[in-house]
Structure 1
Amino acid sequence: MHLAGRGKAAVFQRWLFGRLGAFFYNEQPMPVFILLFFSLWLLPAQADNSHVPAVSEEAAAQALQATVIDPYLELHTGPGRGYPVIYVVEKGATIGIVSRRTSWYLVVDKQGNSGWVKRENLARTLVDTGVPVVLPETRHSDFLQHRVRLGFTLGWQESAEQVAAMAGFRLSRHIGIEAEIGQLFSATTNGQQYSASLILEPTDRWAVTPFVSLGYGRQELELKSKLPGNRPLEDNFRSIGAGVNWYIGFNFVLRGEYRTLDIFSDNQTVSNDLWRLGFSSFF
């Protein structure tokens, strides 16, 4: 199952970067916020020792005990490959498995040194009975338990292509809020969108989680033709939509969504259909 998740994630990433390449091929400007978003996603996170949470004696005593069988086990300052190694536990040493964050585990050794270990590395340890330790995998339900998410989408709003980056915060297991910033590209206009939405996910019983959204925002469009009298168009809009989240592996969730936008322009309301596909990563 772990390898299947890795394959689905890789296929999606190839598709996503292919779409990004199309923007450059068509000589369309890539928004700065999109470049910053991908820089944060692709570049390894850096951290110092202060990011390692302290493990109390009580938590260490209650932790699952395991023995290292590899020559050494590296402990990182945070739950990610880019975090530096702070300690090394040698073969034969005993560690306690305290908690989990997605596919990383917080462990502590007998000297009280704590750090984060990747699931694949921690799987090569033995419990007291001499059998490999059994670790739970990151699953779709974890997506509903983490409060913070970041996302990126590509889609189409009528005849314009839309790219957007979003950040969300879960107020409860089934209710969350999202803020997003997007950019539109078409043959006649370019523009930006800003919006905030209320997200409702009514159930977590299925592998694919449906959601509905209700939002309000503003879009600013600029006509490409420089004819006399042309001016930027700035309009507010409201949106209602529905979509699905599908866990594809690690801490990535594939997102498909449809929204209808009611744009309030010059004393009239214009409706636009928005279809988009993207991903979210939860923390």
Structure 2
Amino acid sequence: MNIQLKSFSILLTVLISVSSPIQAKETDKQDEYQKVKIVEAYIELHTGPGSGFPIFFVDQRGNKIKILKRKTDWFQVQTDSNKIGWVSREQLEKTLTEAGVKKSFKDILLDDYIKSRLEFGIAAGLFEDEQSFTLRTGYKLTPNIIFELAYTKIAGKFSSSTLYQGNFNLQLYPDSRLSPFLFIGYGKFENVPAASLLAAQTSTLDMANAGIGVKFYLSDQFYFRAEASTYVVLVGDNRSDEYSHFSAGFSFFF
């Protein structure tokens, strides 16, 4: 096996092993619903997710409520007396977490993201000196690990190339609004020379890639993503070519 591909295999093993303790910690954290403390005089529970639904219960200052789920800007909560109803984001932001700090809208966005599974995204960038466009979809296997499928089109002067790849992403701090990540993957590199080139043939080659990136969450279902990666393309038994790729774009999750 090519020595560079061996390095990628070792990196993948390290990536998965490093993620194991983080994964266990985050999974334990998600097994419990978050509780917040009421610090205003009262908090109103509605029968449904909207101000048009009637108020059926009022909980008092000092009591705790458990956040069950979200629908737009309304949150289903459960009181200590087991009453279940809906509270607006405005009221929820006036509560305190168990750490004694205000439950901010940023925290609420991250709570949503941690529980989300499916992602879609687009990005534009440079593959060496040529423009690239990427479509990707991902599925969150754990709070730290995402499996992605990506399709990248590269428009070159003398040829056009297409990358088909599967990646494993390791999010180092999934509960942070600015979240760095590492990734490694494997796929196919298809190169189609321009028709003007004589005796040119289309080639499809194996490739591996690894890189680093960062995500910044902009809203409850939307984030900005930038990354840099290196591709190793096998062009023969004892030869490979390396390429660099920089891209930035947006993704949404649900």
Q: 1:189 to 1:133 in 2, by over 3 A?
A: same
Question: Is 1:224 aligned to residue 194 of structure 2?
Answer: yes
Superposed counterparts of 1:161-240, under 5 Å: 161-204=131-174, 206-240=176-210
Instruction: Give the superposition deviation at 1:269.
Output: 0.3
Structure showing the higher strand proportion among its residues: 2
Instruction: Give the superposition deviation at 1:227.
Output: 3.2
After TM superposition, the score normalised by the length of structure 1 is 0.56
| Alignment match of 2:55 (pick from 84, 94, 97) | 94
**Structure 2 partner of 1:257:** 227
Q: Is the 8 A contact 1:141 1:204 kept in 2?
A: no
| Alignment match of 2:218 (pick from 227, 248, 262) | 248
CA–CA distance in structure 1, aligned partners of residues 173 and 68 of structure 2 = 29
CA–CA distance in structure 2, aligned partners of residues 163 and 95 of structure 1 = 52
Question: Is 1:133 aligned to residue 91 of structure 2?
Answer: yes
- Which shifted more, 143-152 or 199-208? 199-208
| 1:90-148 Cα deviation digits (max 9, x unpaired) | 7xx337896305x44477xxxxxxxxx9x9xx56xxxxxxxx73356342353233111
**Structure 2 partner of 1:281:** 252
SS of the equivalent of 1:191 reads strand
CA–CA distance in structure 2, aligned partners of residues 144 and 184 of structure 1 = 33
Q: Is the 8 A contact 2:49 2:75 kept in 1?
A: no
CA–CA distance in structure 2, aligned partners of residues 206 and 196 of structure 1 = 25
Q: 1:95 to 1:146 in 2, by over 3 A?
A: farther
CA–CA distance in structure 1, aligned partners of residues 220 and 235 of structure 2 = 43
**Structure 2 partner of 1:270:** 241
Q: 1:74 to 1:191 in 2, by over 3 A?
A: same
CA–CA distance in structure 1, aligned partners of residues 46 and 235 of structure 2 = 67
Q: 1:212 to 1:250 in 2, by over 3 A?
A: same
SS of the equivalent of 2:201 reads coil
SS of the equivalent of 2:196 reads coil
Instruction: Give the superposition deviation at 1:188.
Output: 1.4
Superposed counterparts of 1:37-116, under 5 Å: 65-66=44-45, 89=52, 93-94=54-55, 99-101=69-71, 103-105=72-74
SS of the equivalent of 1:228 reads coil
Which consecutive residues of structure 2, in runs of 5 or more, have no partner in the other structure?
1-42, 58-66, 77-85, 94-102
After TM superposition, the score normalised by the length of structure 2 is 0.62
- Which stretches of structure 1, 4 residues or more, deviate above 2 A after TM superposition? 64-68, 93-99, 103-107, 132-145, 202-207, 225-228
CA–CA distance in structure 2, aligned partners of residues 216 and 149 of structure 1 = 20
Percent identical residues = 18
SS of the equivalent of 1:133 reads helix
CA–CA distance in structure 2, aligned partners of residues 144 and 262 of structure 1 = 32
Instruction: Give the superposition deviation at 1:204.
Output: 3.5
Instruction: Give the superposition deviation at 1:196.
Output: 0.1
SS of the equivalent of 1:203 reads coil
CA–CA distance in structure 2, aligned partners of residues 253 and 99 of structure 1 = 21
Q: 1:95 to 1:133 in 2, by over 3 A?
A: farther
CA–CA distance in structure 1, aligned partners of residues 144 and 49 of structure 2 = 37
**AA paired with 1:133?**
Q
**AA paired with 2:233?**
I
**AA paired with 1:253?**
Y
